[in-house]
Amino acid sequence: MKSAEIREAFLRFFEEKGHTRVASSSLIPANDPTLLFTNAGMNQFKDCFLGLEKRAYTRATTSQKCVRAGGKHNDLENVGYTARHHTFFEMLGNFSFGDYFKRDAITFAWEFLTSDKWLSLPKEKLWVTVYASDDEAYDIWTKEVGVPAERMVRIGDNKGAPYASDNFWAMGDTGPCGPCTEIFFDHGDHIWGGPPGSPEEDGDRYIEIWNNVFMQFNRTADGVMHPLPAPSVDTGMGLERISAVLQHVNSNYEIDLFQSLLNAAAQAIGCGSNEGQASLKVVADHIRSCGFLIADGVTPSNEGRGYVLRRIVRRACRHGNKLGAKGSFFHKIVAALVAEMGDAFSELKTQQAHIERVLKTEEEQFAKTLEQGLRILEQDLADLQGSVIPGEVIFKLYDTYGFPMDLTGDIARERELTLDEEGFEREMQAQRERARSASAFGLDYNSLVKVEGETRFTGYLGTSGSGKVLALFKEGMAVQSLSAGEEGVVVLDQTPFYAESGGQVGDCGYLSADGLRFDVRDTSKAGGAFLHHGILDSGSLQVGATVEATVDASVRQSTALNHSATHLLHAALRQILGEHVSQKGSLVDSQRLRFDFSHFEAIKPEQLKVLEDKVNAEIRGNTAVEIEETDIETAKSKGAMALFGEKYGDQVRVLTMGGGFSVELCGGTHVKRTGDIGLFKIISEGGVAAGVRRIEAVTGEQALAYLNTAEEQLKEAASLVKGSRDNVLDKLGAILERNRQLEKELEQLKAKAASATGNDLASSAVEVKGVKTLAARVDGLDGKALLALVDQLKNKLGSGVILLGGVQDEKVVLVAGVTQDLTGRLKAGDLMRQAAAVVGGKGGGRPDMAQGGGSDANRLDEALAIAAAFVEQGV
Ligand code: SER
């Protein structure tokens, strides 16, 4: 059976068992700061397990895109060297949200795997593990399904802490978790390995194919296991592993899906498809994670998700280089990926060109990084005392220039140097600590969100209204009351406050009742609850109290102008630059709007003007903004743009502006008519990552203020050049021209002065055994200027040996030159090595010209004296 057929059979089987087929979610988890990438099928249902979100169904089945690189469940370093580690893989899953539990989960899995109608696997080849204390699951397997006890294994807390077990699954340090039962396939005794729980379990004979997790707890950061509102089921089966079983191969890399990727990789690199197997597997694996991550909106960068992507691309490039790739090759494999997986994941097809360009740019940049790193390393080696490259140098190269440590190691070996690996590790550790304290991915999302019930949002219709306090929190802990002066979080049953989402910031304002005022500084969402963050100014606030909620309407209105203008800008960008433009992020507050989108080159000033004009024309058109609630399919059929990383419910809100000029799915708050925006002004355009541009703009009063400031600055500039608004440009032009002339004159004067110095110096040359020898101190010139001077002196002397040295920024700079007629006997490089050693440094170069330096300025005269002795001995 082909992988695609297995995927389809799985989804169909569970549909027949009453499950709703749900599309894979984005690799960028929506609204979940605890997670770097989607790493399991259950991620998109996290809130359903926690009881925070209700869906129209209680049974679901998916084929989920997963990336396990960086964060918990990180497989990156193993990829290529084992038969089944991947950075990207597909997880087939079935889920129950408080519907069925252990019995059905187990019998469904068994039926799908063994029944003749489905996968028809031989029962005697299947082994099962259960959590040691889970008698219920053990009994279902042995008594009801009939798995013999000799193929059942109980596994306890085998990883050194309570609940740390191969048979206890957790999404992360916090969040939903529970005991699990795993199904293993025995690939046969021709492969080494033992059953799960045995000392040989790490072999490749017995392979876990399906994990059924019985979700029972929510673990919070304090380690407490809170029972979930309803026990649930989360299962996961790696598509690649089950394909290997059904295609009678042991390694995932031998399945149909990987064959074409391995071939395409070999072709792009220009090697045989069997060469350096591990490296080829790395490349074939990495093209999947890179392709899918870029399609989901990640771009290579130096932090967070972008940094992980960058590391994966670079790892692929290095392995390609190992196999002899010349120039960029990685992006050439994208076409094969699209051919293989584009039918199941259409985003690959629509984003193919974007993925290729991002990868190509990143490859080219990495090639430059390598070159630059090599240069920096050369400089550091020139100053090196001893034979060990210090940890800080290796770390600087690695961290700042992206220069991998193994490459530094290769170069060190060539020069008989060694690496201070411990020092490097120390720097890495310090870096990790800095990253951990700065990272948002460790937030304890759950400590705040144990909120019963949901908040109803009333803020589309107005900016005030009453609500009942459902819950209060202080420092992340639920409390019954807040008193004056305390900071905290208030949850209401209904609120007009917009909670931050879709790029629009949360509302601010206040909650009030008799003698009570709570200042709301921000509003965010946790599951279905809206959290009002702020401080209680006066009075005391209890759970159950009724308060009047008042949003700061003018801030909300300014934000609305920016949000609506963002939609117009998005539509205008697609009209002017092309349909490839898609939103990669946005931020809308009351001061300005920021819009990131995919596009590969800087936008020309004239294009920016057209964009601005188009948006302003829509504003002047003053059409009504239409809002319609409908289901997602109808919305898409109307051409509504859905945004990456957003999680849409069953009902969506479609926002139409300019009678169809812009149609977008959006939950934000907007203006009533486009004319309300008043004026739109772009204030900057630039690149934020490869293939992603950013536009910042202002609207309404802010736009007017921006133009007024510009007007003031123009007036000030005019008065500085003693001109007026009308002739300021001419005046500035004249000043610049004068400046250019003065610079030219200065250059000529400098050249004259240098030539005079040259004449003076030339006359101080002495004869040593018939060779004109000139050694002189010239302070304050850098290496380049000294080189020019030595060149000049060579011409003046006609034949001779020159050594110039000086102190520049407390460092000694040395340049030596020998005229061609003498280089057979006297080499500038040799002279330099001797002279530089005197000032505690290094140097070298060609026989006719050499450079060097050192740090001991007190011994410069001694170094210069070397010249005469050198000629004396050499002639
Ligand atoms: N969440 C579990 C896993 O990833 C089962 O899907 O193994």
Q: What sign for the dihedral angle of Cα 311, 312, 313, 315?
A: positive
Q: What is the separation of C-alpha 420 from the centre of its chain, rounded to a whole number of angstroms?
A: 29
- pLDDT number for residue 454: 85
Question: Quick check: CB of 63 below 6 Å from ligand 1?
Answer: no
DSSP classification of residue 145: I
Segment holding 822, helix H or strand E = none
Nearest CA to ligand 1 atom 1: 40
At residue 9, the pLDDT reads 97
The total of other beta-carbon atoms located within 10 Å of residue 449's CB is: 21
User: Is the confidence at residue 800, as pLDDT, over 70?
Assistant: yes
* Distance of CA 43 from the midpoint of ligand 1 (Å): 9
Check pocket membership of 178 for ligand 1, CB cut-off 6 A: no
Q: What is the 3-state secondary structure (H, E, C) of 757-821?
A: HHHHHHHCCEEECCEEEEEEECCCCCHHHHHHHHHHHHHHHCCCEEEEEEEECCEEEEEEEECHH
Residues 151 and 9 in one domain: yes
Residue 262 covered by a domain: no
Distance of CA 606 to the CA centre of its chain: 32
Query: CB of 412 within 8 A of CB of 426?
Result: no
Q: Is the CB of 562 under 6 A from ligand 1?
A: no
**Mutate which of 91, 106, 210 to test ligand 1's pocket (most atoms within 8 Å of Cβ)?**
91
Kindly state whether residue 125 falls inside one of the protein's structural domains. yes
- pLDDT, residue 443, reads 35
Q: Closest Cα partner for 181 from 169, 195, 167, 194? A: 167
What is d(CA 450, CA 465) in angstroms, rounded to the nearest whole number? 25
CATH number at residue 805: 3.10.310.40
Looking up residue 457, the CATH number of its domain turns out to be: 2.40.30.130
Query: In angstroms, what is the span from residue 40 Cα to ligand 1's centroid?
Result: 6
In the predicted structure, residue 744 carries a pLDDT above the cut 60 = yes
Q: Is 93 in the pocket of ligand 1 (CB under 6 A)?
A: yes
Collapsing DSSP to helix, strand or coil, 315 comes out as helix
Query: How far away, in angstroms, is 237 Cα from ligand 1 center?
Result: 8
Predicted pLDDT of residue 71: 63
How much is the pLDDT for 72? 57
The residue contributing the CA closest to ligand 1 atom 4 is: 40
Nearest Cα residue to atom 3 of ligand 1: 236
Question: What average pLDDT score do residues 723-742 get?
Answer: 93
Q: What is the pLDDT of residue 452?
A: 66
| CA-wise closest residue to 239 among 383, 97, 102, 344 | 344
Q: How far apart are CA 94 and CA 785, in angstroms?
A: 72
552, two tokens:
């700061």
R_g of the chain computed on alpha carbons: 35
Residue 827: DSSP 8-state: -
**Mutate which of 234, 237, 240, 241 for ligand 1 pocket (most atoms within 8 A of beta carbon):** 234
pLDDT of residue 271: 94
- Can you say whether the dihedral through the CA atoms of 597, 600, 602, 607 is positive or negative? negative
Contact assessment for residue 418 and residue 394, using Cβ atoms and an 8 Å cutoff: no
**Residue range 622-667, pLDDT digits in tens:** 999 999 998 877 887 777 876 544 566 678 899 999 999 999 999 9
Distance 52 CA to ligand 1 centre (A): 20
Tell me if 175 CB under 6 Å of ligand 1: no
The pair of structure tokens assigned to 60 is 């679901």
Atom in ligand 1 nearest the alpha carbon of residue 93? 6
Q: What is the pLDDT of residue 631?
A: 85
Same domain flag for 670 and 601: yes
Which of 359, 377, 395 represents a domain boundary (last residue)?
377
Separation of CA 301 and ligand 1 centre (Å): 29
| pLDDT score, position 732 | 94
Looking at 708, 733, 748, which one is the last position of a domain? 708
Same domain, 46 and 134: yes
**% of the chain residues with pLDDT over 70:** 95
Q: Does residue 236's CB lie within 6 angstroms of at least one atom of ligand 1? A: yes
Give the DSSP letter of residue 640. Answer: P
Task: Return the sign of the alpha-carbon dihedral for residues 349, 351, 353, 357.
Answer: negative
Q: Which parts are annotated binding residues?
A: 563, 567, 666, 670
Cβ neighbourhood burial of 515 (10 Å; 0-12, 13-18, 19+):
exposed
Q: What is the dihedral of CA 424, 427, 431, 433, to 10 degrees?
A: 120
Query: Are residue 581 and residue 659 in the same domain, yes or no?
Result: yes
Atom number in ligand 1 closest to CA 39: 4
Assign 3-class secondary structure to 172-202. CCCEEEEEEEEEEEECCCCCCCCCCCCCCCC
Averaged over 551-565, what is the pLDDT? 96
In this structure, are 168 and 230 located in the same domain? Answer: yes
Q: Does 404 contact ligand 1 (Cβ within 6 A)?
A: no
Structure tokens belonging to residue 458: 């009333």
Ligand 1 within 6 A of CB of 455: no
Q: Residue 855 above 70 pLDDT?
A: yes
Last residue in a domain, options 377, 404, 426:
377
Q: Within a domain: residue 365? A: yes
Answer whether 66 contacts ligand 1 (Cβ < 6 A): no
* pLDDT band for position 54 (cuts 50, 70, 90): confident
Q: What is the pLDDT of residue 375?
A: 82
**CB distance 94 to ligand 1 below 6 Å:** no
Q: What is the CATH number of the domain that holds 654?
A: 3.30.980.10
- Quote the tokens at residue 385: 């005392």
Residue 382 pLDDT more than 90? no
Q: Please tell me the distance between residue 544's alpha carbon and the centre of ligand 1 in angstroms.
A: 39
Q: Ligand 1 center to residue 19 CA distance, Å?
A: 18
State in Å: Cα 130 to ligand 1 middle: 14
**492: helix, strand or coil:** strand
Kindly report, residue by residue over 426-476, the tens digit of the pLDDT: 988 887 766 555 433 333 333 444 566 689 999 999 999 999 999 998 887
The answer to the question of residue 141 being in a domain is yes
Q: How far apart are CA 307 and CA 293, in angstroms?
A: 12
How many separate domains does the chain show?
6
* Dist. CA 529 → ligand 1 center (Å): 27
304, 365: one domain:
yes
In the numeric block, which tokens belong to residue 490? Answer: 């208030």
**Is the pLDDT confidence value at 174 over 80?**
yes
Q: In this structure, are 105 and 187 located in the same domain? A: yes
* pLDDT at residue 80 greater than cutoff 90: no
For residue 440, how far is its CA from the centre of ligand 1 (angstroms)? 24
Q: Cβ(80) to ligand 1 under 6 A? A: no
Q: Which atom of ligand 1 is nearest to the CA of 171?
A: 1
Tokens found for residue 301:
């960068």
The verdict on residue 574 lying in a domain is yes
**Residue 235 CA to ligand 1 centre (angstroms):** 6
> What pLDDT is recorded for position 378?
85
Q: Residues 203, 194: contact at Cβ < 8 Å? A: yes
For residues 283 and 44, the answer to whether their CB atoms sit within 8 Å is: no
What percent of the chain lies above the pLDDT cut of 90?
68
Torsion of CA 744, 748, 753, 755, to 10 degrees: 140
User: Counting atoms of ligand 1 from 1, which one is nearest the CA of 40?
Assistant: 4
User: Which of 507, 456, 381 is CA-nearest to residue 844?
Assistant: 381
- Assigned domain for 418 exists: yes
> How much distance in Å is there from the Cα of 352 to the middle of ligand 1?
30
Higher pLDDT, 277 or 728: 728
Q: Is the CB of 276 under 6 A from ligand 1?
A: no
Q: Is 689 in the pocket of ligand 1 (CB under 6 A)?
A: no
Backbone angles phi, psi at 11, to 5 degrees: -65, -40
Residue ranges making up the domain that contains 290: 274-377
Q: Using CA positions, which residue lies closest to atom 2 of ligand 1?
A: 236
Pocket test for ligand 1, best of 38, 66, 213, 241 (most atoms within 8 A of CB): 213
**Cβ neighbours around 349 below 10 Å, total:** 13
pLDDT at residue 584, as a whole number: 85
pLDDT of amino acid 782:
79
CA-based nearest residue to 62, from 100, 26, 22, 90: 22
Whether residue 134 lies inside any domain: the answer is: yes
Ligand 1 centroid to Cα of residue 112, in Å, is 18
**Ligand 1 pocket, residue 169 CB under 6 Å:** yes
Same domain, 168 and 205: yes
Report d(CA 837, CA 854) in Å as an integer.
Answer: 8
Cβ(232) – ligand 1 distance below 6 Å: no
Is 527 a pocket residue for ligand 1 (Cβ < 6 Å)? no
Residues 157 and 17 in one domain: yes
b/e burial code for range 170-190 (CB count within 10 A of at least 16 → b) = bbbebbbbbbbbbbbbbbeee
How much is the mean pLDDT over the chain? 90
Binding-site residues from annotation for Zn(2+): 563, 567, 666, 670
Residue showing tokens 């204030």: 683
The residue-averaged pLDDT of 727-756 equals 88
C-beta 42 within 6 A of ligand 1? yes
- The burial of 650, by beta-carbon neighbours within 10 Å (0-12 exposed, 13-18 middle, 19 or more buried), is given as exposed
Q: Return d(Cα 81, Cα 579) in angstroms, integer.
A: 41
Q: How far apart are the CA of 193 and the centre of ligand 1, in A?
A: 23
Q: What is the mean pLDDT of residues 293-309?
A: 86
Q: Is 41 in the pocket of ligand 1 (CB under 6 A)?
A: yes
Mean pLDDT lowest among 65-69, 114-118, 815-819: 65-69
pLDDT of residue 572: 97
pLDDT on residue 36:
87
Same domain, 450 and 537: yes
The pLDDT value recorded for residue 101 is: 97
Residue 114, pLDDT above cutoff 80: yes
**Mean pLDDT over residues 522-532, rounded?**
89
Ligand 1 contact, 109 CB (< 6 A): no
DSSP string, 510-554: EEEETTEEEEEEEEEEETTEEEEEEEEEESEEETT-EEEEEE-HH
Domain co-membership, 403 together with 484: no
Residue 50 lies in a domain: yes
The dihedral through the CA atoms of 637, 642, 647, 648 has a sign that is negative
What mean pLDDT is predicted for residues 35-50? 91
What's the gap in Å between 683 CA and the centre of ligand 1? 47
Does 572 share its domain with 691? yes
Query: What angle is formed at CA 156 by the lines to CA 151 and CA 162, rounded to 5 degrees?
Result: 165
User: Which is higher by pLDDT, 375 or 48?
Assistant: 48
